């Protein structure tokens, strides 16, 4: 994603999953939709990696918008994508005049309590460590966030657009709800977005995006972006908020400490299987480690995420089937990386493995279900050099290990 630098100014996060909105009773509310959103973006922006969830998009062939933090035209282009879906022809784009003060407040609270943020599912760079901000950067970010409380976007920022205040929201959805079903689904959206806050000489920025699909149905994400040449990559997650219903949240005293269900014995066998798959160019062996559609549903449940509604399952499955080729692309990319590093994998030898367990909880208030994320480093040797294959996520699905395909290969220095 390309971003034109603006002056260092205000606020927050990342683009949300572009899907048909659910009704209020089945509102989108948890990590499932965040990761579905990420799968959507990987397809939309021609990424070569398949995330562990559904490779899902309402329009796989959408063109790539250029993120421009001066004009915010990437938001308008997203609306054009939705408008063009099956001829929906939405007459009006709606965007919020300002960021919800509660989101600003929550963001400031998170920054006040945390300085380390996990890498985004979309980050494609070599860095495997989480983003750590300095105390000076945190002070600056909070100061800029506070300025957002008095900031308002002007009217008519985009063609065919209307700026919306908090008092206009009900009126907007009373209009869009009267459209035919598909058109109503695509046109019932109000965009919320902020200016980015740039840090580290304009190489990292913080940006918020919100999409509202009904009076009480919205999605928000807040992420850091990292500049890579002329491109900006979603880099690290700060929070994900899908308006989870109060009754679905755990009270603090009801939380239990999550425990990994993956043994070292299983990881040793998995490490050798992964190494030998690349060593012997065994695509089928590698493909068997990728979770299938049913596995993905189980993984969602393991992480405390609701399954998609029955009405949407056929659409999700259809698009998932279309994305299977990405697994082969990733396998070949690792083989190509080995060739670039002058590694003859057929003569390499397995060395060892190392696991890392991390407790994750992506709910905004931290009171959702926590789970243990296990990552794996597979070490091997070739001609007095040592290399590592990193697998960022391992899943135990019915006692069979499956892997996240965002695999990297690097030399150990």
Q: Average the pLDDT over 395-409 and give the result.
A: 88
- Pair (203, 274) in one structural domain: no
Q: Is residue 161 very low, low, confident or very high in pLDDT (cuts 50, 70, 90)?
A: very high
Q: Among 192, 218, 248, identify where a domain stops.
A: 248
Q: What is the pLDDT of residue 371?
A: 81
- What average pLDDT does the chain have? 75
pLDDT, average across residues 327-348? 91
235 vs 217: which has the higher pLDDT = 235
* pLDDT for position 120: 77
The answer to whether position 258 is within a domain reads no
Residue 102 lies in a domain: yes
- Based on the domain organization, do 242 and 276 belong to the same domain? no
Task: Report the distance separating Cα 44 and Cα 27, nearest Å.
Answer: 24
Regarding whether 228 and 106 lie in a shared domain, the answer is yes
Whether residue 255 is contained in a domain is answered as no
Q: Do 238 and 314 belong together in one domain?
A: no
Same domain, 232 and 97: yes
Q: Report pLDDT for 294.
A: 85
| pLDDT at 330 exceeding the cut of 50 | yes
Q: Looking at per-residue confidence, does 99 or 200 come out higher?
A: 200
Mean pLDDT value of segment 295-301:
80
Residue 385 predicted with pLDDT over 70 = yes
At residue 319, the pLDDT reads 66
Q: Give mean pLDDT, residues 22-32.
A: 32
Q: Is residue 369 part of a domain?
A: yes
Residue 257 located in a structural domain: no
pLDDT at 388: 95
**Has residue 63 been placed in a domain?**
yes
Q: How far apart are CA 379 and CA 214, in angstroms?
A: 50
Show which of 216, 248, 280 is a domain's final residue.
248
Same domain (yes/no): 350, 406:
yes
Q: Is the pLDDT of residue 122 over 90?
A: no
If one counts the domains in the chain, the total is 2
Q: Are residues 361 and 303 in the same domain?
A: yes
More confident residue, 404 or 277: 277
Residues 230 and 276 in one domain: no
Average pLDDT of the residues in 381-393: 93
Using one digit for the tens of pLDDT, what is the confidence trace for 38-48? 443 433 333 22
Same domain, residue pair 110 and 168: yes
**Judgement on whether residues 236 and 299 belong to the same structural domain of the protein:** no
Same domain, 148 and 286: no
Residue 27 lies in a domain: yes
| 18 φ, ψ (degrees, to nearest 5) | -95, 90
Domain with 387 in it: 264-411
Are residue 235 and residue 303 in the same domain, yes or no? Answer: no
The whole-number pLDDT of residue 62 equals 35
């Amino acid at each position: 994603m390309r971003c034109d630098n603006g002056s260092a100014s205000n606020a927050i996060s990342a683009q949300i999953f572009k899907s048909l909105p659910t009704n209020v009773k089945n509102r989108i509310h948890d990590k499932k939709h965040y990761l579905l959103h990420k799968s959507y973006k990987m397809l939309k922006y021609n990424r070569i990696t398949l995330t562990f969830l559904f490779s899902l998009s309402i329009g796989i062939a959408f063109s790539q918008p250029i993120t421009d933090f001066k004009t915010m035209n990437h938001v308008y282009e997203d609306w054009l994508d939705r408008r063009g879906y099956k001829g929906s022809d939405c007459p009006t784009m709606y965007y919020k005049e300002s960021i919800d003060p509660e989101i600003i407040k929550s963001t400031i609270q998170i920054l006040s309590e945390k300085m380390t943020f996990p890498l985004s599912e979309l980050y494609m760079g070599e860095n495997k460590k989480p983003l750590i901000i300095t105390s000076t950067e945190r002070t600056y970010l909070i100061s800029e966030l506070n300025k957002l409380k008095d900031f308002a976007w002007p009217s008519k920022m985009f063609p065919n657009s209307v700026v919306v205040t908090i008092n206009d929201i009900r009126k907007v959805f009373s209009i869009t709800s009267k459209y035919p079903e598909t058109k109503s689904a695509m046109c019932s959206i109000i965009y919320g977005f902020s200016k980015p806050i740039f840090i580290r000489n304009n190489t990292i920025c913080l940006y918020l995006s919100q999409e509202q699909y009904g009076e009480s149905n919205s999605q928000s994400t807040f992420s850091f972006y990292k500049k890579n040449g002329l491109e900006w990559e979603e880099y690290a997650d700060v929070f994900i908020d899908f308006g989870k219903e109060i009754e679905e949240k755990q009270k603090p005293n009801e939380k239990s400490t999550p425990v990994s269900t993956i043994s070292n014995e299983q990881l040793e066998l998995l490490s050798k299987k992964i190494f030998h798959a690349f060593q012997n160019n065994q695509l089928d062996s590698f493909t068997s480690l990728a979770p299938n559609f049913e596995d993905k549903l189980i993984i969602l449940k393991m992480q405390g995420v609701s399954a998609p509604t029955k009405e949407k399952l056929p659409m999700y499955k259809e698009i998932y089937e279309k994305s299977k080729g990405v697994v082969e692309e990733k396998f070949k990319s690792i083989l190509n990386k080995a060739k670039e590093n002058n590694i003859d994998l057929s003569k390499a030898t397995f060395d060892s493995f190392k696991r890392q367990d991390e407790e994750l909880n992506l709910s905004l208030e931290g009171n959702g279900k926590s789970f243990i994320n296990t990552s794996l480093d597979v070490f091997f040797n070739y001609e007095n050099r040592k290399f590592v294959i990193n697998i960022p996520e391992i899943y135990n699905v019915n006692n069979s290990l499956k892997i996240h395909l965002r695999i990297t290969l690097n030399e150990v220095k």
